[in-house]
A and B are shown apart, each in its own frame.
Chain A
Protein backbone atom coordinates (compact mmCIF):
# COMPACT_ATOMS: atom_id res chain seq x y z
CA UNK A 1 0.00 0.00 0.00
CA UNK A 2 2.84 2.44 -0.46
CA UNK A 3 2.06 5.71 -2.12
CA UNK A 4 1.25 5.46 -5.73
CA UNK A 5 0.34 8.64 -7.43
CA UNK A 6 -2.03 7.48 -10.12
CA UNK A 7 -3.76 9.83 -12.47
CA UNK A 8 -6.05 12.26 -10.79
CA UNK A 9 -9.34 10.85 -12.04
CA UNK A 10 -7.98 7.35 -11.62
CA UNK A 11 -7.08 7.36 -7.92
CA UNK A 12 -10.47 6.50 -6.53
CA UNK A 13 -11.43 4.25 -9.41
CA UNK A 14 -8.30 2.15 -8.98
CA UNK A 15 -9.03 1.81 -5.29
CA UNK A 16 -12.54 0.61 -6.08
CA UNK A 17 -11.34 -1.80 -8.74
CA UNK A 18 -8.92 -3.46 -6.34
CA UNK A 19 -11.69 -3.95 -3.81
CA UNK A 20 -14.19 -5.38 -6.23
CA UNK A 21 -11.49 -7.78 -7.40
CA UNK A 22 -10.83 -8.90 -3.82
CA UNK A 23 -14.55 -9.46 -3.25
CA UNK A 24 -14.94 -11.44 -6.46
CA UNK A 25 -11.89 -13.56 -5.60
CA UNK A 26 -13.25 -14.35 -2.15
CA UNK A 27 -16.68 -15.22 -3.51
CA UNK A 28 -15.12 -17.65 -5.99
CA UNK A 29 -13.00 -19.20 -3.27
CA UNK A 30 -16.03 -19.66 -1.03
CA UNK A 31 -18.04 -21.29 -3.82
CA UNK A 32 -15.23 -23.75 -4.58
CA UNK A 33 -14.84 -24.49 -0.91
CA UNK A 34 -18.57 -25.08 -0.51
CA UNK A 35 -18.54 -27.63 -3.32
CA UNK A 36 -15.42 -29.32 -1.92
CA UNK A 37 -16.94 -29.45 1.51
CA UNK A 38 -20.11 -31.04 0.12
CA UNK A 39 -18.11 -33.69 -1.70
CA UNK A 40 -15.99 -34.90 1.24
CA UNK A 41 -17.30 -37.41 3.76
CA UNK A 42 -17.88 -41.11 4.17
CA UNK A 43 -20.50 -41.32 1.44
CA UNK A 44 -18.42 -40.52 -1.62
CA UNK A 45 -19.33 -37.81 -4.03
CA UNK A 46 -17.03 -36.28 -6.63
CA UNK A 47 -16.33 -32.56 -6.86
CA UNK A 48 -18.16 -32.44 -10.19
CA UNK A 49 -21.06 -34.39 -8.71
CA UNK A 50 -21.29 -31.99 -5.79
CA UNK A 51 -21.18 -29.03 -8.17
CA UNK A 52 -23.98 -30.49 -10.28
CA UNK A 53 -26.00 -31.25 -7.16
CA UNK A 54 -25.64 -27.69 -5.91
CA UNK A 55 -26.68 -26.35 -9.29
CA UNK A 56 -29.66 -28.70 -9.28
CA UNK A 57 -30.72 -27.57 -5.80
CA UNK A 58 -30.54 -23.93 -6.78
CA UNK A 59 -32.25 -24.42 -10.12
CA UNK A 60 -34.16 -27.72 -10.06
CA UNK A 61 -34.52 -28.57 -13.74
CA UNK A 62 -34.19 -32.08 -15.14
CA UNK A 63 -33.44 -35.23 -13.18
CA UNK A 64 -31.33 -35.16 -9.99
CA UNK A 65 -27.67 -35.61 -10.98
CA UNK A 66 -26.87 -38.21 -8.31
CA UNK A 67 -28.60 -41.33 -6.92
CA UNK A 68 -31.59 -40.76 -4.65
CA UNK A 69 -30.12 -42.24 -1.44
CA UNK A 70 -26.84 -40.38 -1.79
CA UNK A 71 -28.81 -37.25 -2.48
CA UNK A 72 -30.76 -37.74 0.74
CA UNK A 73 -27.60 -38.08 2.82
CA UNK A 74 -26.08 -35.01 1.27
CA UNK A 75 -29.17 -32.82 1.45
CA UNK A 76 -30.30 -33.83 4.91
CA UNK A 77 -26.97 -34.20 6.68
CA UNK A 78 -24.14 -32.62 4.80
CA UNK A 79 -25.77 -29.59 3.25
CA UNK A 80 -27.18 -28.06 6.47
CA UNK A 81 -23.79 -28.47 8.10
CA UNK A 82 -22.01 -26.83 5.18
CA UNK A 83 -24.51 -23.99 4.94
CA UNK A 84 -24.44 -23.48 8.69
CA UNK A 85 -20.69 -23.11 8.38
CA UNK A 86 -21.17 -20.45 5.72
CA UNK A 87 -23.84 -18.41 7.50
CA UNK A 88 -22.26 -18.75 10.95
CA UNK A 89 -18.86 -17.74 9.62
CA UNK A 90 -20.43 -14.78 7.85
CA UNK A 91 -22.28 -13.77 11.03
CA UNK A 92 -19.06 -13.90 13.04
CA UNK A 93 -17.15 -12.00 10.38
CA UNK A 94 -19.69 -9.18 10.19
CA UNK A 95 -20.17 -9.10 13.97
CA UNK A 96 -16.41 -8.88 14.48
CA UNK A 97 -16.08 -5.96 12.10
CA UNK A 98 -19.06 -4.15 13.62
CA UNK A 99 -17.67 -4.57 17.12
CA UNK A 100 -14.13 -3.57 16.27
CA UNK A 101 -15.40 -0.49 14.49
CA UNK A 102 -18.07 0.48 17.00
CA UNK A 103 -15.60 0.13 19.86
CA UNK A 104 -12.76 1.41 17.70
CA UNK A 105 -10.63 -1.40 19.04
CA UNK A 106 -8.87 -3.99 16.88
CA UNK A 107 -8.75 -6.43 19.78
CA UNK A 108 -12.50 -6.62 20.18
CA UNK A 109 -14.30 -9.71 19.03
CA UNK A 110 -17.94 -10.79 19.15
CA UNK A 111 -17.21 -12.26 22.55
CA UNK A 112 -15.94 -8.99 23.98
CA UNK A 113 -19.45 -8.01 25.02
CA UNK A 114 -19.82 -11.21 27.03
CA UNK A 115 -21.95 -13.13 24.53
CA UNK A 116 -20.22 -16.50 24.82
CA UNK A 117 -20.08 -16.75 28.59
CA UNK A 118 -23.69 -15.71 29.01
CA UNK A 119 -24.80 -18.17 26.32
CA UNK A 120 -22.95 -20.94 28.13
CA UNK A 121 -24.63 -19.90 31.36
CA UNK A 122 -28.06 -20.04 29.72
CA UNK A 123 -27.28 -23.48 28.33
CA UNK A 124 -25.99 -24.66 31.70
CA UNK A 125 -29.13 -23.44 33.39
CA UNK A 126 -31.24 -25.49 31.00
CA UNK A 127 -29.05 -28.58 31.05
CA UNK A 128 -28.28 -28.73 34.76
CA UNK A 129 -31.27 -27.18 36.48
CA UNK A 130 -33.78 -27.84 33.73
CA UNK A 131 -34.81 -24.25 34.16
CA UNK A 132 -35.32 -21.92 31.30
CA UNK A 133 -37.00 -18.98 29.75
CA UNK A 134 -39.79 -21.17 28.39
CA UNK A 135 -40.53 -22.67 31.78
CA UNK A 136 -39.33 -25.50 33.93
CA UNK A 137 -38.60 -28.47 31.71
CA UNK A 138 -37.24 -31.36 33.68
CA UNK A 139 -34.58 -33.57 32.22
CA UNK A 140 -36.76 -35.53 29.88
CA UNK A 141 -37.82 -32.41 28.03
CA UNK A 142 -34.22 -31.23 27.60
CA UNK A 143 -33.14 -34.36 25.86
CA UNK A 144 -36.16 -34.45 23.60
CA UNK A 145 -36.25 -30.74 22.91
CA UNK A 146 -32.84 -29.31 22.22
CA UNK A 147 -34.46 -25.96 21.52
CA UNK A 148 -34.93 -25.45 25.25
CA UNK A 149 -31.16 -25.12 25.50
CA UNK A 150 -30.99 -23.01 22.37
CA UNK A 151 -33.64 -20.59 23.60
CA UNK A 152 -31.96 -20.27 26.97
CA UNK A 153 -28.52 -19.66 25.50
CA UNK A 154 -29.93 -17.06 23.16
CA UNK A 155 -31.98 -15.17 25.72
CA UNK A 156 -29.18 -14.98 28.26
CA UNK A 157 -26.59 -13.84 25.77
CA UNK A 158 -28.94 -11.16 24.44
CA UNK A 159 -29.72 -10.01 27.98
CA UNK A 160 -26.04 -9.64 28.71
CA UNK A 161 -25.41 -7.92 25.38
CA UNK A 162 -28.35 -5.57 25.91
CA UNK A 163 -26.90 -4.44 29.21
CA UNK A 164 -23.46 -3.84 27.76
CA UNK A 165 -24.88 -2.07 24.69
CA UNK A 166 -27.19 0.14 26.72
CA UNK A 167 -24.20 1.21 28.79
CA UNK A 168 -22.76 2.82 25.66
CA UNK A 169 -25.66 5.30 25.69
CA UNK A 170 -24.68 6.72 29.06
CA UNK A 171 -22.83 10.01 29.08
CA UNK A 172 -19.08 9.68 29.48
CA UNK A 173 -18.99 5.96 28.74
CA UNK A 174 -16.05 5.41 26.40
CA UNK A 175 -15.46 2.31 24.26
CA UNK A 176 -12.87 1.25 26.82
CA UNK A 177 -15.51 1.22 29.56
CA UNK A 178 -17.80 -0.85 27.34
CA UNK A 179 -15.05 -3.39 26.74
CA UNK A 180 -14.28 -3.65 30.45
CA UNK A 181 -17.98 -4.05 31.19
CA UNK A 182 -18.14 -6.88 28.63
CA UNK A 183 -15.11 -8.55 30.16
CA UNK A 184 -16.56 -8.34 33.65
CA UNK A 185 -19.82 -9.84 32.38
CA UNK A 186 -17.77 -12.70 30.96
CA UNK A 187 -16.22 -13.31 34.38
CA UNK A 188 -19.56 -13.05 36.12
CA UNK A 189 -21.29 -15.55 33.85
CA UNK A 190 -18.31 -17.92 33.81
CA UNK A 191 -18.35 -17.97 37.59
CA UNK A 192 -22.09 -18.62 37.60
CA UNK A 193 -21.64 -21.46 35.11
CA UNK A 194 -18.90 -22.99 37.26
CA UNK A 195 -21.20 -22.81 40.23
CA UNK A 196 -23.91 -24.66 38.30
CA UNK A 197 -21.42 -27.28 37.16
CA UNK A 198 -20.48 -27.81 40.78
CA UNK A 199 -24.03 -29.02 41.43
CA UNK A 200 -24.48 -30.94 38.18
CA UNK A 201 -24.23 -34.69 37.68
CA UNK A 202 -21.36 -35.97 35.58
CA UNK A 203 -23.70 -36.66 32.63
CA UNK A 204 -25.06 -33.13 32.81
CA UNK A 205 -21.57 -31.69 32.91
CA UNK A 206 -20.56 -33.82 29.95
CA UNK A 207 -23.63 -32.60 28.06
CA UNK A 208 -22.71 -29.01 28.88
CA UNK A 209 -19.08 -29.39 27.84
CA UNK A 210 -20.27 -31.00 24.63
CA UNK A 211 -22.61 -28.07 24.07
CA UNK A 212 -19.91 -25.51 24.69
CA UNK A 213 -17.63 -27.07 22.08
CA UNK A 214 -18.70 -25.42 18.91
CA UNK A 215 -20.00 -28.07 16.54
CA UNK A 216 -21.65 -27.39 13.22
CA UNK A 217 -22.93 -30.98 13.09
CA UNK A 218 -25.71 -30.00 15.48
CA UNK A 219 -27.30 -27.75 12.92
CA UNK A 220 -30.51 -28.68 11.16
CA UNK A 221 -32.35 -26.88 8.40
CA UNK A 222 -34.37 -24.70 10.78
CA UNK A 223 -31.17 -23.50 12.45
CA UNK A 224 -29.70 -22.62 9.09
CA UNK A 225 -32.82 -20.71 8.07
CA UNK A 226 -33.10 -18.72 11.30
CA UNK A 227 -29.40 -17.83 11.27
CA UNK A 228 -29.54 -16.87 7.61
CA UNK A 229 -32.53 -14.61 8.25
CA UNK A 230 -30.67 -12.84 11.07
CA UNK A 231 -27.59 -12.54 8.88
CA UNK A 232 -29.44 -11.04 5.93
CA UNK A 233 -31.31 -8.54 8.11
CA UNK A 234 -28.30 -7.35 10.07
CA UNK A 235 -26.08 -7.30 6.99
CA UNK A 236 -28.55 -5.08 5.16
CA UNK A 237 -28.85 -2.65 8.06
CA UNK A 238 -25.06 -2.60 8.49
CA UNK A 239 -24.57 -1.85 4.81
CA UNK A 240 -27.04 1.03 5.03
CA UNK A 241 -25.06 2.42 7.97
CA UNK A 242 -21.61 1.88 6.48
CA UNK A 243 -20.91 5.59 6.02
CA UNK A 244 -21.63 6.13 9.71
CA UNK A 245 -19.15 3.39 10.59
CA UNK A 246 -16.54 5.02 8.41
CA UNK A 247 -16.96 8.24 10.35
CA UNK A 248 -16.98 6.34 13.63
CA UNK A 249 -13.44 5.17 12.91
CA UNK A 250 -12.41 8.73 13.76
CA UNK A 251 -12.38 9.98 17.29
CA UNK A 252 -15.81 10.45 18.89
CA UNK A 253 -15.50 14.24 18.89
CA UNK A 254 -14.62 14.25 15.21
CA UNK A 255 -17.41 11.81 14.31
CA UNK A 256 -19.76 14.15 16.18
CA UNK A 257 -18.43 17.10 14.19
CA UNK A 258 -19.29 15.17 11.03
CA UNK A 259 -22.91 14.93 12.16
CA UNK A 260 -22.92 11.34 13.48
CA UNK A 261 -24.89 10.58 16.62
CA UNK A 262 -22.01 8.61 18.08
CA UNK A 263 -23.67 7.09 21.13
CA UNK A 264 -26.78 5.95 19.33
CA UNK A 265 -24.90 4.43 16.41
CA UNK A 266 -22.55 2.68 18.80
CA UNK A 267 -25.28 1.20 20.98
CA UNK A 268 -27.32 0.04 17.98
CA UNK A 269 -24.26 -1.54 16.44
CA UNK A 270 -23.31 -3.38 19.60
CA UNK A 271 -26.82 -4.76 19.83
CA UNK A 272 -26.75 -5.84 16.20
CA UNK A 273 -23.34 -7.51 16.55
CA UNK A 274 -24.59 -9.33 19.63
CA UNK A 275 -27.60 -10.65 17.74
CA UNK A 276 -25.32 -11.80 14.94
CA UNK A 277 -23.22 -13.69 17.46
CA UNK A 278 -25.84 -14.97 19.88
CA UNK A 279 -27.98 -16.59 17.19
CA UNK A 280 -25.41 -19.01 15.74
CA UNK A 281 -23.82 -19.56 19.16
CA UNK A 282 -27.16 -20.69 20.54
CA UNK A 283 -27.46 -23.24 17.75
CA UNK A 284 -23.92 -24.52 17.37
CA UNK A 285 -22.08 -23.46 20.54
CA UNK A 286 -19.05 -21.27 20.99
CA UNK A 287 -16.64 -21.11 18.07
CA UNK A 288 -13.77 -18.76 18.73
CA UNK A 289 -11.38 -16.70 16.71
CA UNK A 290 -13.27 -16.34 13.43
CA UNK A 291 -14.86 -13.12 14.65
CA UNK A 292 -11.49 -11.71 15.67
CA UNK A 293 -9.52 -12.86 12.65
CA UNK A 294 -11.92 -12.31 9.75
CA UNK A 295 -12.09 -8.51 10.16
CA UNK A 296 -8.32 -8.26 10.19
CA UNK A 297 -7.95 -10.29 7.02
CA UNK A 298 -10.75 -8.31 5.41
CA UNK A 299 -9.18 -5.00 6.36
CA UNK A 300 -5.89 -6.24 4.99
CA UNK A 301 -7.60 -7.03 1.70
CA UNK A 302 -9.85 -4.01 1.16
CA UNK A 303 -8.96 -1.37 3.75
CA UNK A 304 -11.28 0.43 6.12
CA UNK A 305 -14.20 1.56 3.95
CA UNK A 306 -17.14 -0.33 5.43
CA UNK A 307 -19.04 -0.46 2.17
CA UNK A 308 -16.43 -3.02 1.13
CA UNK A 309 -15.19 -4.12 4.52
CA UNK A 310 -18.54 -5.51 5.70
CA UNK A 311 -19.16 -7.84 2.72
CA UNK A 312 -15.49 -8.83 2.69
CA UNK A 313 -15.64 -9.74 6.38
CA UNK A 314 -18.74 -11.82 5.72
CA UNK A 315 -17.03 -13.77 2.94
CA UNK A 316 -13.78 -14.10 4.90
CA UNK A 317 -15.58 -15.37 7.99
CA UNK A 318 -17.57 -17.86 5.95
CA UNK A 319 -14.47 -19.11 4.16
CA UNK A 320 -12.50 -19.46 7.40
CA UNK A 321 -15.18 -21.34 9.26
CA UNK A 322 -16.18 -23.61 6.40
CA UNK A 323 -12.51 -24.30 5.67
CA UNK A 324 -11.88 -25.19 9.31
CA UNK A 325 -14.94 -27.41 9.46
CA UNK A 326 -14.04 -29.20 6.25
CA UNK A 327 -10.62 -29.94 7.71
CA UNK A 328 -12.17 -30.96 11.02
CA UNK A 329 -14.26 -33.52 9.14
CA UNK A 330 -11.42 -34.89 7.04
CA UNK A 331 -8.02 -34.88 8.74
CA UNK A 332 -8.82 -37.67 11.21
CA UNK A 333 -11.76 -39.13 9.30
CA UNK A 334 -13.97 -40.87 10.30
CA UNK A 335 -13.34 -39.03 13.56
CA UNK A 336 -14.76 -35.51 13.44
CA UNK A 337 -12.87 -32.89 15.46
CA UNK A 338 -14.62 -29.92 17.10
CA UNK A 339 -14.39 -27.06 14.64
CA UNK A 340 -13.56 -24.55 17.37
CA UNK A 341 -10.25 -26.30 17.92
CA UNK A 342 -9.42 -26.11 14.23
CA UNK A 343 -10.28 -22.40 13.92
CA UNK A 344 -7.78 -21.68 16.66
CA UNK A 345 -5.09 -23.98 15.25
CA UNK A 346 -5.43 -22.49 11.80
CA UNK A 347 -6.25 -18.98 12.84
CA UNK A 348 -3.53 -18.18 15.37
CA UNK A 349 -0.56 -18.64 13.00
CA UNK A 350 -2.37 -16.71 10.30
CA UNK A 351 -3.21 -13.92 12.74
CA UNK A 352 0.33 -13.68 14.05
CA UNK A 353 1.69 -13.64 10.54
CA UNK A 354 -0.64 -10.80 9.64
CA UNK A 355 0.26 -8.81 12.75
CA UNK A 356 3.98 -9.28 12.29
CA UNK A 357 3.81 -8.32 8.66
CA UNK A 358 2.02 -5.13 9.57
CA UNK A 359 4.41 -4.21 12.33
CA UNK A 360 2.99 -2.53 15.38
CA UNK A 361 -0.07 -1.27 13.54
CA UNK A 362 -3.15 -3.25 14.42
CA UNK A 363 -5.42 -1.58 11.94
Chain B
Protein backbone atom coordinates (compact mmCIF):
# COMPACT_ATOMS: atom_id res chain seq x y z
CA UNK B 1 0.00 0.00 0.00
CA UNK B 2 1.44 3.36 -1.03
CA UNK B 3 1.71 5.80 1.89
CA UNK B 4 3.84 8.63 0.57
CA UNK B 5 3.11 10.05 -2.86
CA UNK B 6 5.19 12.88 -4.32
CA UNK B 7 3.78 14.15 -7.60
CA UNK B 8 5.52 16.53 -9.95
CA UNK B 9 7.23 18.55 -7.24
CA UNK B 10 9.27 21.53 -8.35
CA UNK B 11 11.16 23.79 -5.97
CA UNK B 12 13.30 26.89 -6.41
CA UNK B 13 15.54 28.74 -3.95
CA UNK B 14 15.06 32.19 -5.46
CA UNK B 15 16.13 31.61 -9.04
CA UNK B 16 18.08 28.41 -8.33
CA UNK B 17 16.03 25.41 -9.33
CA UNK B 18 16.62 22.68 -6.75
CA UNK B 19 13.91 20.19 -7.72
CA UNK B 20 12.31 19.65 -11.09
CA UNK B 21 9.17 17.58 -11.56
CA UNK B 22 10.00 14.98 -8.92
CA UNK B 23 7.56 12.09 -8.69
CA UNK B 24 7.94 9.10 -6.40
CA UNK B 25 6.09 6.71 -4.14
CA UNK B 26 6.99 4.91 -0.97
CA UNK B 27 4.98 1.95 0.28
CA UNK B 28 4.20 0.73 3.73
CA UNK B 29 7.18 -1.08 5.28
CA UNK B 30 9.43 -0.08 2.40
CA UNK B 31 12.86 1.54 2.63
CA UNK B 32 13.68 3.85 -0.26
CA UNK B 33 17.04 5.58 -0.64
CA UNK B 34 17.72 8.75 -2.55
CA UNK B 35 21.25 8.86 -3.89
CA UNK B 36 22.97 11.58 -5.85
CA UNK B 37 25.92 13.95 -5.72
CA UNK B 38 26.25 16.87 -3.30
CA UNK B 39 23.76 19.57 -4.13
CA UNK B 40 21.49 17.22 -6.07
CA UNK B 41 18.47 18.24 -4.03
CA UNK B 42 18.12 15.31 -1.60
CA UNK B 43 17.75 17.44 1.50
CA UNK B 44 15.50 19.87 -0.34
CA UNK B 45 13.18 17.04 -1.31
CA UNK B 46 12.91 15.81 2.28
CA UNK B 47 12.21 19.35 3.48
CA UNK B 48 9.49 19.78 0.87
CA UNK B 49 7.81 16.59 2.05
CA UNK B 50 7.98 17.95 5.58
CA UNK B 51 6.36 21.20 4.40
CA UNK B 52 9.39 23.12 5.65
CA UNK B 53 9.82 24.34 2.11
CA UNK B 54 6.80 25.11 -0.05
CA UNK B 55 7.12 23.64 -3.54
CA UNK B 56 6.42 25.91 -6.49
CA UNK B 57 4.50 23.10 -8.15
CA UNK B 58 3.25 19.58 -7.52
CA UNK B 59 1.66 17.93 -4.50
CA UNK B 60 2.74 15.73 -1.65
CA UNK B 61 0.19 13.28 -0.31
CA UNK B 62 0.13 10.99 2.68
CA UNK B 63 -2.42 8.27 1.99
CA UNK B 64 -5.18 8.31 3.09
CA UNK B 65 -4.79 11.58 4.98
CA UNK B 66 -4.31 13.90 2.05
CA UNK B 67 -2.20 16.87 1.10
CA UNK B 68 0.68 17.65 3.48
CA UNK B 69 0.56 21.36 2.65
CA UNK B 70 -3.00 21.57 3.94
CA UNK B 71 -2.36 19.88 7.28
CA UNK B 72 -2.05 21.47 10.70
CA UNK B 73 1.42 21.22 12.21
CA UNK B 74 0.34 18.73 14.84
CA UNK B 75 -1.58 16.60 12.35
CA UNK B 76 1.44 16.43 10.08
CA UNK B 77 3.74 15.69 13.02
CA UNK B 78 1.71 12.58 13.82
CA UNK B 79 2.32 11.30 10.28
CA UNK B 80 5.85 12.36 9.32
CA UNK B 81 9.00 12.19 11.43
CA UNK B 82 12.36 13.57 10.41
CA UNK B 83 16.00 13.44 11.40
CA UNK B 84 18.19 16.11 9.79
CA UNK B 85 21.53 15.65 8.06
CA UNK B 86 23.33 17.21 11.03
CA UNK B 87 21.86 17.78 14.44
CA UNK B 88 23.96 18.72 17.42
CA UNK B 89 22.90 17.57 20.88
CA UNK B 90 21.25 20.70 22.25
CA UNK B 91 20.39 21.37 25.88
CA UNK B 92 21.09 19.10 28.84
CA UNK B 93 18.35 16.60 28.06
CA UNK B 94 18.75 13.04 29.18
CA UNK B 95 18.29 10.44 26.46
CA UNK B 96 14.87 9.51 27.83
CA UNK B 97 13.70 13.13 27.82
CA UNK B 98 15.12 13.69 24.38
CA UNK B 99 13.29 10.69 22.99
CA UNK B 100 10.11 11.78 24.79
CA UNK B 101 10.22 15.00 22.75
CA UNK B 102 8.95 12.85 19.91
CA UNK B 103 5.64 12.66 21.79
CA UNK B 104 5.19 16.41 21.33
CA UNK B 105 2.33 16.11 18.82
CA UNK B 106 0.42 13.89 21.21
CA UNK B 107 0.98 15.52 24.59
CA UNK B 108 -0.82 18.29 26.38
CA UNK B 109 0.99 19.81 29.29
CA UNK B 110 2.54 16.66 30.64
CA UNK B 111 3.55 13.18 29.51
CA UNK B 112 1.02 10.43 30.02
CA UNK B 113 1.85 6.88 31.05
CA UNK B 114 1.31 5.91 27.40
CA UNK B 115 3.93 8.43 26.26
CA UNK B 116 6.44 6.99 28.71
CA UNK B 117 5.60 3.46 27.64
CA UNK B 118 6.13 4.26 23.95
CA UNK B 119 9.44 6.01 24.60
CA UNK B 120 10.78 3.26 26.83
CA UNK B 121 9.72 0.55 24.42
CA UNK B 122 11.60 2.25 21.60
CA UNK B 123 14.68 2.83 23.73
CA UNK B 124 14.63 -0.86 24.49
CA UNK B 125 14.27 -1.79 20.83
CA UNK B 126 17.21 0.38 19.84
CA UNK B 127 19.38 -0.90 22.67
CA UNK B 128 19.49 2.50 24.36
CA UNK B 129 17.76 1.45 27.56
CA UNK B 130 20.85 1.57 29.71
CA UNK B 131 21.59 5.07 28.47
CA UNK B 132 18.14 6.41 29.37
CA UNK B 133 19.45 8.74 32.06
CA UNK B 134 22.66 9.72 30.30
CA UNK B 135 22.86 13.25 28.94
CA UNK B 136 22.61 13.44 25.16
CA UNK B 137 25.79 15.50 25.03
CA UNK B 138 27.64 12.54 26.53
CA UNK B 139 26.75 10.04 23.79
CA UNK B 140 29.02 8.69 21.09
CA UNK B 141 28.21 9.55 17.50
CA UNK B 142 26.53 6.20 16.91
CA UNK B 143 24.49 6.33 20.10
CA UNK B 144 23.40 9.86 19.25
CA UNK B 145 22.27 8.81 15.77
CA UNK B 146 20.22 6.06 17.35
CA UNK B 147 18.74 8.54 19.81
CA UNK B 148 17.68 10.70 16.85
CA UNK B 149 16.02 7.74 15.21
CA UNK B 150 14.42 6.78 18.52
CA UNK B 151 12.94 10.27 18.81
CA UNK B 152 11.56 10.02 15.29
CA UNK B 153 10.03 6.60 15.98
CA UNK B 154 8.51 7.80 19.26
CA UNK B 155 6.49 10.13 17.07
CA UNK B 156 4.75 6.96 15.77
CA UNK B 157 4.93 8.23 12.20
CA UNK B 158 3.62 6.66 9.02
CA UNK B 159 6.49 8.22 7.07
CA UNK B 160 10.08 8.38 8.25
CA UNK B 161 12.40 10.88 6.57
CA UNK B 162 16.08 10.35 7.36
CA UNK B 163 18.73 12.66 5.98
CA UNK B 164 21.96 10.67 5.81
CA UNK B 165 21.33 8.45 8.82
CA UNK B 166 24.81 6.94 8.58
CA UNK B 167 26.62 10.27 8.63
CA UNK B 168 29.77 10.08 10.81
CA UNK B 169 29.23 6.49 11.81
CA UNK B 170 31.85 3.76 11.72
CA UNK B 171 31.25 0.60 9.71
CA UNK B 172 29.71 -1.28 12.60
CA UNK B 173 27.27 1.46 13.43
CA UNK B 174 26.44 2.11 9.77
CA UNK B 175 25.39 -1.48 9.49
CA UNK B 176 23.57 -1.65 12.79
CA UNK B 177 21.66 1.60 12.23
CA UNK B 178 20.60 0.58 8.72
CA UNK B 179 19.60 -2.87 9.89
CA UNK B 180 17.49 -1.28 12.57
CA UNK B 181 15.88 1.08 10.10
CA UNK B 182 15.02 -1.77 7.78
CA UNK B 183 13.69 -3.98 10.56
CA UNK B 184 11.65 -1.22 12.17
CA UNK B 185 10.21 -0.06 8.86
CA UNK B 186 8.92 -3.59 8.33
CA UNK B 187 7.59 -4.22 11.83
CA UNK B 188 6.09 -0.78 12.34
CA UNK B 189 4.77 -0.57 8.77
CA UNK B 190 6.50 2.75 8.21
CA UNK B 191 7.36 4.17 4.80
CA UNK B 192 11.01 5.20 5.06
CA UNK B 193 12.66 7.61 2.67
CA UNK B 194 16.31 8.38 3.30
CA UNK B 195 19.06 10.37 1.65
CA UNK B 196 22.23 8.30 1.35
CA UNK B 197 25.77 9.06 0.27
CA UNK B 198 27.14 5.56 0.50
CA UNK B 199 25.81 3.88 -2.62
CA UNK B 200 26.83 0.39 -1.55
CA UNK B 201 25.01 0.67 1.77
CA UNK B 202 22.00 2.15 0.01
CA UNK B 203 21.91 -0.80 -2.38
CA UNK B 204 22.24 -3.31 0.43
CA UNK B 205 19.52 -1.94 2.67
CA UNK B 206 16.94 -0.42 0.34
CA UNK B 207 13.97 -1.84 -1.47
CA UNK B 208 14.20 0.88 -4.05
CA UNK B 209 16.81 3.40 -5.17
CA UNK B 210 16.03 6.85 -6.49
CA UNK B 211 18.88 8.69 -8.16
CA UNK B 212 18.69 12.44 -8.18
CA UNK B 213 20.88 14.75 -10.22
CA UNK B 214 20.48 18.51 -10.49
CA UNK B 215 17.00 18.22 -9.04
CA UNK B 216 15.76 15.59 -11.49
CA UNK B 217 15.19 11.90 -11.02
CA UNK B 218 17.51 9.99 -13.35
CA UNK B 219 16.82 6.50 -12.03
CA UNK B 220 14.14 4.86 -10.00
CA UNK B 221 14.12 1.14 -9.47
CA UNK B 222 15.42 -1.97 -7.78
CA UNK B 223 18.92 -1.69 -6.32
CA UNK B 224 20.07 -4.77 -8.22
CA UNK B 225 19.69 -2.96 -11.52
CA UNK B 226 22.22 -0.27 -10.80
CA UNK B 227 24.86 -0.11 -13.49
CA UNK B 228 28.27 1.41 -13.97
CA UNK B 229 26.72 3.77 -16.49
CA UNK B 230 24.30 5.12 -13.94
CA UNK B 231 27.12 5.74 -11.48
CA UNK B 232 29.15 7.46 -14.17
CA UNK B 233 26.22 9.62 -15.16
CA UNK B 234 25.36 10.46 -11.55
CA UNK B 235 28.74 11.05 -9.92
CA UNK B 236 31.00 11.47 -12.96
CA UNK B 237 33.14 8.66 -11.62
CA UNK B 238 34.23 5.54 -13.50
CA UNK B 239 33.17 2.47 -11.60
CA UNK B 240 33.09 -1.24 -11.90
CA UNK B 241 29.99 -3.07 -10.77
CA UNK B 242 30.48 -6.62 -9.54
CA UNK B 243 27.97 -8.93 -7.92
CA UNK B 244 28.51 -10.42 -4.49
CA UNK B 245 27.61 -14.03 -3.70
CA UNK B 246 23.95 -13.08 -3.26
CA UNK B 247 23.78 -11.26 -6.55
CA UNK B 248 23.76 -7.84 -4.91
CA UNK B 249 25.76 -5.32 -6.93
CA UNK B 250 28.90 -3.83 -5.39
CA UNK B 251 30.25 -0.60 -6.80
CA UNK B 252 33.99 -0.20 -6.98
CA UNK B 253 35.11 3.25 -8.03
CA UNK B 254 38.11 3.40 -10.33
CA UNK B 255 40.58 6.18 -10.86
CA UNK B 256 40.03 8.17 -14.01
Contact = CB atoms under 8 A, between A and B. Distances in A.
20 contacts: A1-B92, A1-B138, A2-B134, A11-B133, A12-B111, A15-B133, A243-B104, A243-B107, A243-B108, A249-B90, A249-B91, A257-B52, A257-B80, A258-B77, A258-B104, A259-B75, A260-B104, A304-B91, A305-B93, A307-B110
Interface of A: 1-6, 8, 11-12, 14-15, 104, 239-240, 242-243, 246-247, 249-251, 253-254, 256-261, 299, 303-305, 307, 361, 363
B101 A303 contact: no
A227 B116 CA distance: 38
Contacts of B76: 259
Interface residues of B, number: 46
Contacts of A361: 92, 137
A2 B97 contact: no
Given A3-B133, A260-B73, A254 B82 contact: yes
Interface stretch (B23-31, B59-67, B124-132, B164-172): B124-132
B113 to A, nearest CB: 10
Contact of B133 (A4, A243, A257, A363): A4
Interface in B49-107: 50, 52, 72-78, 80-84, 87-88, 90-94, 96-97, 101-102, 104-105, 107
The 4 lowest CB-CB distance pairs between A and B, nearest first, are A259-B77, A3-B134, A304-B91, A259-B74
A9 B7 CA distance: 45
Given A2-B138, A303-B92, A304-B97, A258 B87 contact: no
Contacts of A3: 130-131, 133-134, 138
Interface of B: 47, 50, 52, 72-78, 80-84, 87-88, 90-94, 96-97, 101-102, 104-105, 107-111, 116, 120, 124, 129-135, 137-138, 155
Identify the interface centre among A242, A251, A253: most chain B CB within 10 Å of its CB: A253
A17 to B, nearest CB: 12
Nearest to A249: B91
Contacts of B124: 8
A251 B120 contact: no
Contact of B77 (A240, A257, A299): A257
A254 B93 contact: no
B184 to A, nearest CB: 18
Given A240-B109, A256-B52, A260-B73, A250 B133 contact: no
A299 B92 contact: yes
Nearest to A259: B77
Nearest to B50: A257
A5 B94 contact: no
A4 to B, nearest CB: 5
B153 to A, nearest CB: 13
Contacts of B116: 12
Given A243-B104, A243-B108, 20 more contacts: A1-B135, A3-B131, A5-B133, A8-B120, A15-B94, A15-B133, A249-B90, A250-B87, A253-B82, A253-B84, A256-B50, A256-B52, A257-B52, A257-B77, A259-B78, A260-B104, A303-B92, A304-B97, A305-B97, A363-B137
Contacts of A12: 96, 111, 116
Contacts of A251: 84, 87-88, 90
B29 to A, nearest CB: 21
A259 B50 CA distance: 10
Nearest to B124: A8
A89 B161 CA distance: 44
A11 B96 contact: yes
A6 B133 CA distance: 8
A3 B92 CA distance: 13
A62 to B, nearest CB: 41
Nearest to B85: A253
A233 B155 CA distance: 32
Contact of B84 (A254, A299, A304): A254
Nearest to A14: B133
Given A2-B134, A3-B130, A253 B96 contact: no
A242 B135 CA distance: 20
Given A6-B132, A11-B133, A259 B105 contact: yes
Contacts of A14: 133
